[in-house]
Structures are given as structure tokens and as C-alpha cells.
Structure 1
Amino acid sequence: MTAESIRVLFATSECAPLIKTGGLADVSSALPAALTRLGVDIRVLLPGYRAVMGRLSGAREVARLAATPRFPHARLLLAEGPGGVPLVVVDCPELYDRPGGPYQDPSGADWPDNALRFGQFSRVAAELSGVRSPLGWQVQVLHCNDWQTGLAPAYLRLDPDATAATLLTIHNLAFQGVFPPQVVPQLGLPPESFSPAGVEYYGQMSFLKAAIRFADAVSTVSPTYAEEIQREPLGMGLQGLLAERRGDLEGILNGIDIEAWNPERDPLIARRFGIRSLDSKRDNKWAVQQRFGLTQDSDVPLLAVISRLAYQKGIDLVLEAAEALLALPSQLVVLGKGDRDYETRLLALAARHRDRVAVMVGFNEELAHLIEAGADMFLMPSRYEPCGMNQMYSLHYGTIPVVRATGGLVDSVVNCKPETLSSGTANGFVFDVASTEALLGAVSRALEGYRNPGIWRALQVAGMRRDFNWDASARRYLAIYTRLAKAQEPNSE
């Protein structure tokens, strides 16, 4: 079986640049494009949120799905998605034409009918993957992503005529799509499905558990995270089921868009540079200091954080360590938004140290590129990190990551120590315990390296030489698709 013969429907609730709240959107844009380059016949399925409908061009209606007693009618629109990948949009204004984000209203509260909204999306994904698909295009593998698509494998399992195989990718196990048991019949699931062997999750029902239970294969976004979620605490109540399915579970490290994140061609930074022109990186540091009103000093190390401001990301550790970090000495720039308490405390820190700390609440793509290019070190003290992308951006830009040993951070950052320096693989600093003391210890070790130009340049070069493009990851997914499609053939054993 060749790549060209495999037909894949990639169901996702986000796809950059059309709609984005996190890394899922970047994956949903880049991975299908990489798979297309390998010859896979892939189409992306996306809800028709207001923001998505406003950005579509050249869309045409290709099918209509009639209303059922449980779900409203929907139109299917076909358009060209990111990277030229065909995009199928579920136009259902009753569920998706709303202000706010994909999952929450403008005030930040979850939409009360999210079970119905993503039950409908899962139903459409399953219907398009069935033998009666209105697309006239027979899906061999339905690739589901996170809880928002989680009921699709269950719906297909209930269809006696279904032939498509299913793959679930878990991008973050913390988001599980948990709802009251009353929604089970509303979603068209049989009563017997509400059991520990089905969709029941500690007295509630979980979209994500349904997907883990009924998908033919499960993947997640880094090898280390695939191991971590099979035990407490990162299994988050699903560790038993995931351990049970370990033979079907695979960790594949995400890639990054090396065209958008390339310091040699990046139009968003002050001065472009590469391995042979690393001294030019200093101009970007000056640009960051100037942009944020920090003291312009090329010798003082500039530390950066670009993150969702959340407990998971270890922002409390940065706050607790801040005064000690500044006394090293160092400067700190933070870009992100999230928990209001963290935002307030970070802004207060910046007010106390106007020449050494800068905080911008929000996300800004241009500033993110400039900060990655100008910072000396990038802090990621995450309590858990399924994959993480900023550490890979940092490595590409000669910015040394200081990270906690978890998830994809373990799989991409090689701790600096004598043996890794000797082998030329060291590219960052890693600490084990999620504590202020451990973070400070790692930054102190990094500062020792910073003060040794030879060591620091070796770390930068090793990081910039790492290849994080999507091709290798796409080939791993293609291998899963091929295996699943082959298993669905009538004569397969």
C-alpha cells in the first residue's frame, strides 16, 4: 500500500491561521500539509465557527446533512486550507456562529452546550468516514484530535457497516470533555455505553475516554509524554486505560514550521542571523531591550518567557524566583496571558523593576519572534508539557532553553554536562523538581555557561543544528495510517 492510496480525514477543532487557542491549531495546519507532501490524500474537517467562516474564500457547498432528533442540520463547505490541503467546514450556525472563542463565550465561560456542539462535530466526522458518506470519497483512516472529536470513534464502533479505522492523537490529557451523564442519551449513545468499559468517567461521561477506549490506535505528541500518561499524576484518572492500551499507544514528537521560524529569513526580527553569523543575534537583544524600555546592556543575560500564564506552565515558580533571578543579575521579559492573578503579579513585578523586567499581557506573533531572536535564555519550568514548541523555536534561534524534565522538553532539550558537551549534543539546561530552588539552580548553571563564550557558542550551535521539521513526524504518522488501513482490508488477518 502506497501513501497515495491512503485517504485520511483529519478532524480537528482548531487550525491555524483560521482559528487558534493553542498548539493544536499549529499541528492541524502543519501536519496535514507535511502528509500531503508525502502523497497522502488527506482532508481537514473543521467546525464553521464565526471566525472561520469570515476567513474562508472560494468555499462551495458539497453536501447537506439532515437534522436528526438530537442534532441540527448542517452544510458541508469545501475550501482550500493551509498549505493547499482541502478543508471541509461544518457550517452549522446554530452551534458555531457565535462570538467568543471555539469553546468559551466572550466572558471566558464554557458554552453550556459544548457536549452538543462537539457531539455534532464528532457525528459529522463519523458520518463522513462511513460507507454512506455524502462526499463520494471513502475514508480509510479517521484521525481524531483531542476530546472535541472524541465521540467519533464511538459512533463508528456502533455502526455495523463502518470500515474506516480510527486514530486518536492526545495533545493534552488535562482537557477531557467531561459532562453530566444526562448527555449520554442526548448524544445518541446507547445506555450500556455509560459504564467503566465505555464512556463513564468517575460518575460523569468523558469524550476523551470514549476516544481512548474505542479508537483503533492512540498517539500523543512526544515519546516521554506517552510514558508519563500511563501513570499518576499525569494520567489524570485515565492512566489505567492508557496502560491497558500501551500496545496501541505511540508518542511522536511534534515538529515546527521551519519556514516561519528561521532566523536566517525571519522578516519579524531586527536582524537576521544563522550559525555562521551568530554575533548578529546581539542586535535583536538590543531591539528587545529598546522595545520594552529595559537597560540596554549586551552583557547582562536576558531571560524570556512566552507562555500561557498557568500553573501547569510553572509561572508561579518564575514569580517566586524573580527577585533572586534579577539579583544574579539578569533581565526578564514575559509575553503571555492567562490566570488573572499571575498577570497582576507579573505586572506588579515589572512596575517595581522597570529597567529590568518587561511584561506584555496578551499574545503577539511579531513580538514572539523578536523575543526568541533576542533572548539569551528561555525559561520553561512546566509541571507537565505534552510537547512544547517554544523550546524548539528557542533552539532554532540560538536561545538556550532552561526547562523542567517533562514530556516533549525531555525529548528535545539535552542537558548540559561534561559528557554531552564532549559529544556535541548539549543544547540546554534541564532540572527535575518543580521547585523555585531547582529553577534557580538550573539558571545559575546556565549563567556559568553564559560566562564561558566557548561553551555558550557550542550550546547555541548544537541547538540550531537540530532538525525539528515536520517531515520525520509525518512519516511516523504515515506508518500508523498504513498499518491501520491495511488491517481494515477484507483479506487482512
Structure 2
Amino acid sequence: MDKLKLLFVSPEAAPFMSTGGLGDVAGSLPKALAKRKDMDVRIVLPLYQGITDRRGFEFLGSGYVPLSWRNQYCGIFYKKLNGVTYYFIDNEYYFKRTECYGYYDDAERFAFFSKAVLHMLPLIGFIPDIIHSNDWQTALVPVYLSTMFSRDKRFQNIRTVITIHNIEYQGQYDLNIAGDVLDLSGKDVDIVEYAGSVNLLKGALEASNIISTVSESYAREIFDDVYAHGLAPVIRKNASKIRGILNGIDTETYNPQTDAALFRKFSSKSPEGKQVNKVRLQSLMGLPQDKDIPVIAIISRLVAHKGMELIARGIHEILKEKVQLIVLGRGDRHFEFFFKSLQDSYSSSIATRIDFNSDLARKIYAGSDLFLMPSISEPCGTAQMIASRYGSVPIVRETGGLKDSIRDCSLGDGNGFTFSGQDPEALSDAIKRALSVYHNREDWKNLVKTVMNTDFSWDNSALKYFEMYKSLADGGKKS
């Protein structure tokens, strides 16, 4: 039986380079798909300066990639890990930098990367059935495939998927870069032009065979102007292509039974260690050590769309309850100042760390009782899944992937607490309902067990991706 051949194209992928959710997905979804015997899964990403551990990397070859008037060097390295073949595109001019993104020439950097991916395929002897791109940084792969590479018979059966991880980030630039930087001309420019500018994500939405998002609810939300950040007309035009598949998490990476960052390992069957983690966390964060007081955690970017304004408006009502609040994250300065000021005013109740540290985050997941995630917009979110894995019961606002992954306890089979709207009263009510269950020890014990046993692995989602790929590949083959 022929294997379905997938090339996953991403600007980042754990464990090599990850700045957030996209890197985690690109590291764990291909790994889950590679467990199937009927798939050949490969992934390609830039060889950033920050990828310092290059043990096991092998050099495959090099060439030059034409980009308008430029002819840029392209080296190719590869490594096999967890059943997946990883390819790395090497060009020091574009990728020997301290960060992945945030440079004046990002459009050129990722235009080069996207074009290099297609030039790489004949060199490595791999013509995939499906190329799966992710976000605006790789949006030009389907654009180039449908324009300047469209007459190449080697590529005629390739079908394309673009995943929107967050539609707010679109790769918008002045229209004059279309020819000089992106190497597009004539009618080909139309595919990336939107509202008088270059919009790379728009180009991929038009050019790809399938548009996927990271939850079913988010797939519905982006039809609405409120959520689509200007692209709702393009989404509605391409409605038949839209799919929503909820992300998962790597349950081998996030496992309280094996996590070396924890003070004490534990499981849903042997949960005693969670109390040890709680008291040790309180001590670490400078809070009074009290195993009976509920500890609420926030691990988030401290920005408005993550619900920080909602928390700010409702914090004093929250603090009327006997709770401790632990905050970990970076973000907008005024929110950083707000949470630091709260710690100064309520030092026995609130501990704030303006930072992001993975080991500390895991300690907080393991040591907290409740996990607060009141996002205004959340395409998927994985923090609520990780928190659940570590027995921290989520309190979430019903949006995007939060709505799809957390069911309110009032429904009988719930695995957390939810609320709708954007008023602090609704948030406060959800917290009070959670605390009411917390103070009934037997009910709380059962709820924590249910939460920890919720299946947030990639297994179900990977099957849905495979079925989507298979249908697309079978429908796209030409005789």
C-alpha cells in the first residue's frame, strides 16, 4: 500500500525552535501522524541561529533560489526524530539572527523560505501528496505552487492545506514589494493583493485547497468581522474550504507522572503529590503555606485579548473570596504594572512573576487548584489542556477552542467552569461556582480526577487530519 506523503511547512517546530503555540503544534502533530504506518511525514523549517543543538544533523546538499533579481544560497540539512524526517533550510543572511520574527525584511525572509521549500523537493527526491503550510510566514508556498510552479508536471498532483493559527497575523505589506521582494508579477499579484496592500495570508486562503483552523468554534467565528480582522469577506468567499480541527497537546511532554520540573510526581490514580506541589509552590512564590486555601493560576501573555482587562475590572470582587492568585507572564506594560502593583498591595494573596519560564509554569500547573483563562479571543489555546493534565481545573470564557475543549460542570459531564459575555460579574460567578465545588472535598476530588483524565492527546485530532489529507489526495489525483 502506498503511503500518504505529507510535507508539513512551518516557521518553527518544537523541539528545535518554538516561540509559542504554533511551534508546539508543529512539533507534536507530525509526531502523532508519524505513528501511522500509512503515512510518510516530513517537516521543513528554517535553520535559525537559535537552533544550537545540531547533533545528528546531516548535510544533504545546496543550491541557489531565485527571488526576483536575487539568487540566494540554500543549504539543506536533515535529521530523523520520533519517526519524522526534519529538513532545515540554511541561509545565514536570512536566518542567522537572534529572533525568529520581527525584522524589517520578514516578507523577504519568508518568501525565500517558501520558494526554497519547493526548490528543495526534487533535490531530496520527495514529491508529497499534501503540503500543509502554517500561518502567514509559509503562506507563499501554495501561492507559488499555484502560480510560477503551476506548469511543473512534477508538482501537478500536490494538494495544499493552510492552517490559520491566529487570523490576526496576516503578513501585510506595501503593495510595491510584490515584484521586487516576492517575485510576483502581472495577474499573479492579484492573489496576494487585498485592500490595496500585500496580504500573504489572503493569498494562501485563495490558493490552498483546504483552509483549516485550530478549533471548530474558531472556524465559525472567523466568518464574523469581529473575529476575522478584515478577512471575513475572503473567508466567506472560500467557505467550502474551511475546516476546524481542535489542537491537542503532547501528552508525553506534559505528564505529571514523569515531569522532572515538579516537586513531586503524581497522577489521577495517585494524586497525593499534587498537595506537595501546592505547598512547595506557595513557598517558592512567597505566599503563606496553606494546603486548604484555593490557589488560582494565570499563565498567559498579559494582553487585552487574553482577558486581562476583564480580570482587572473584576479583581477586587475575586479577592473578596479567600484565595491565592499566582500570575506568570509578560505582555503590555500597563498590565505588567497592574499585576506587580496588586502583589505589592496584597502580598499574602497574590504572587506575580513578569517572566516566562517553562519549568516554573509546570510547577504552577501542578501546584494550583484552578486555572483562569478568560480570553476574549482564543483560536484554540493549549494552556487549559496542560492545566487539566496537571489537575488544575480550568475556568474559561466560552470562545474558540476554550468552548470546544472545556464543558461546564453544570452539564453533568463537565471538566471545568465556563462563562460567556465580557462582564466581570460573569467571571466572578464562574469563580464562585468553582470555589463552591472546591469546598466540597469529595466532589472536588472527583472533578480533579475527571479533569486529569480528559483526553487532550493528538490521537483524535491526528485521525481527523489524516482523513482530511486522504480525501484531498484521493480527490486530487489525475490519471
Normalised by the size of structure 2, how large is the TM-score? 0.94
1:191 aligns with one of 186, 194, 198: 186
Secondary structure of 2:142 counterpart: helix
Secondary structure of 1:243 counterpart: helix
Identity of aligned residues (%): 36
2:205 aligns with one of 200, 212, 217: 212
- Structure 1 counterpart of 2:420: 432
Secondary structure of 2:42 counterpart: strand
- Structure 1 counterpart of 2:311: 318
- Structure 2 counterpart of 1:442: 430
> Cα RMSD (Å) of the superposition?
1.6
Aligned-pair CA distance for 1:97: 0.8
Unaligned runs of 5+ in 2: none
- Structure 1 counterpart of 2:4: 6
Q: Distance in 2 between matches of 1:202 and 1:217?
A: 23
Aligned-pair CA distance for 1:286: 0.4
Q: Please give the residue correspondences for 1:383-398 in structure 2 after superposition, counting only pairs within 5 Å.
A: 383-398=376-391
- Structure 1 counterpart of 2:24: 26
Q: Distance in 2 between matches of 1:311 and 1:402?
A: 17
Tell me, yes or no, if the aligned pair for 1:128 and 1:139 is still in contact at 8 Å: no
Aligned-pair CA distance for 1:82: 4.8
- Structure 2 counterpart of 1:152: 141
Q: Distance in 2 between matches of 1:313 and 1:399?
A: 18
- Structure 2 counterpart of 1:66: 64
- Structure 1 counterpart of 2:127: 138
1:404 aligns with one of 355, 377, 397: 397
Tell me, yes or no, if the aligned pair for 2:278 and 2:368 is still in contact at 8 Å: yes
- Structure 1 counterpart of 2:107: 115
- Structure 1 counterpart of 2:244: 251
- Structure 2 counterpart of 1:90: 89
Q: Please give the residue correspondences for 1:443-458 in structure 2 after superposition, counting only pairs within 5 Å.
A: 443-458=431-446
For the pair 1:478 / 2:466, whether they are aligned, the reply is yes
Counterpart of 1:127, as a letter, is: H
- Structure 2 counterpart of 1:108: none
Counterpart of 2:172, as a letter, is: V
- Structure 1 counterpart of 2:221: 228
Tell me, yes or no, if the aligned pair for 2:74 and 2:116 is still in contact at 8 Å: no
Aligned-pair CA distance for 1:401: 0.5
For the pair 1:466 / 2:454, whether they are aligned, the reply is yes
Q: Distance in 2 between matches of 1:185 and 1:366?
A: 46
For the pair 1:382 / 2:375, whether they are aligned, the reply is yes
- Structure 2 counterpart of 1:170: 164
| 1:478–1:70 distance in 2 versus 1, CA, 3 Å | farther
Counterpart of 1:57, as a letter, is: R
- Structure 1 counterpart of 2:43: 44
Q: Distance in 2 between matches of 1:70 and 1:286?
A: 62
1:181 aligns with one of 175, 179, 182: 175
Counterpart of 2:100, as a letter, is: P
Q: Distance in 1 between matches of 2:207 and 2:172?
A: 17
Secondary structure of 2:34 counterpart: helix
Counterpart of 1:335, as a letter, is: L
Aligned-pair CA distance for 1:42: 1.6
Aligned-pair CA distance for 1:79: 2.5
Q: Distance in 1 between matches of 2:107 and 2:164?
A: 18
How many residues are paired up? 471
- Structure 2 counterpart of 1:78: 77
- Structure 2 counterpart of 1:287: 280
- Describe the superposition over 1:38-87 as per-residue Cα deviations: whole angstroms up to 9, x where unpaired: 132121111121112x2222323323231424444233323325535211
Tell me, yes or no, if the aligned pair for 1:184 and 1:191 is still in contact at 8 Å: no
